[in-house]
Amino acid sequence: MYSLPKNVTLIEVGPRDGLQNEKNSIPTDQKLAFIHSLQQAGIQEMEVTSFVSAKWVPQMSDSKEIMDRVCKTGRQLVLTPNAHGVENALKAGADSVAVFVGVSDTFNRHNINRSTAGSVETLRPIVNQLKIDHHFVRACISTAFHCPYEGVIPPEQTLALCEKFVDMGVDELSVADTDGMANPLGSFTLFKTLKTKFPNILITAHFHDTRKLGLANIYASLQAGVDRFDTSAGGLGGCPFAPGATGNVATEDVLYLLQSVGIETGVDMDKICDSVDEVAPYLSRPIDTAMYNLYKRK
């Protein structure tokens, strides 16, 4: 019997990763209502927006206004693809920055038109400067298990990329099953290795629920010692460069799993579902997660 952590931190990614691929344009006021409702539910860490090209991700074109108006509480992460994005994020008042690279070279070229190795070398001086200036830096490691273009990713390849970011001095590794192809055994093995290899780094697991193995993968990761998970209220999300990938694991469903085995999160289930209500009318698809559907039937 593996021991499970007593407390788990949920990093809410709905406002950024969840909405970035949404076809409907969500009004800024509604995004802010969504974010503030999530904060009231007890979320202490959240990806609130991203400073990316509005041409490629129009949903994130209001990132500066979001940062200007958001309630400053907890750790608010912003995603930045390059030096220009970092510069704009810092000007907007961000103090916690997320950078991202795909383990898969093909995925990385589709995503940011650069090889994995090239991306790492471009990010190295950026991360170094962010740490000199005392910013929190999160490295998002995409396609850690599988790539929609290359297939299965060898664990050694993922570990090697993670090590490069650890050497740069990042505070956190968010290791992602981008297209939802991970399985519980692979999840346990990879995260057990990461927790052992990098004991002084925050290790966060990021699962998509494409094949309905998200919760199983989370439980396996809990057994491996992971106590941080990216989740998305309402199961929002997807990836424009991972064809067929569905949303992230739903915050409310993960909450039920954790509560059922006695793990504390400090997050209120009903209030998370209230948060989903804030954004649901503006989405192009209905919310269809287990706990949200039960909540609506009350």
Enumerate the active-site residues.
239
Nearest to 38 by CA among 237, 255, 268: 268
Nearest to 69 by CA among 21, 28, 17: 28
Nearest to 49 by CA among 62, 39, 33: 62
CB atoms within 10 A of CB 221: 27
Q: In the chain, where do the E strands start and end?
A: 9-12, 45-50, 75-79, 96-102, 136-142, 146-147, 151-152, 172-177, 202-207, 228-231
In the DSSP assignment, the letter for residue 247 is P
Nearest-Å Rg of the Cα atoms of the chain is 18
Distance (Å, rounded) from C-alpha 264 to C-alpha 137?
25
Q: Parallel, antiparallel, or unpaired: how do β-strands 146-147 and 151-152 relate?
A: antiparallel
Q: What are phi and psi of 232, to 5 degrees?
A: -135, 120
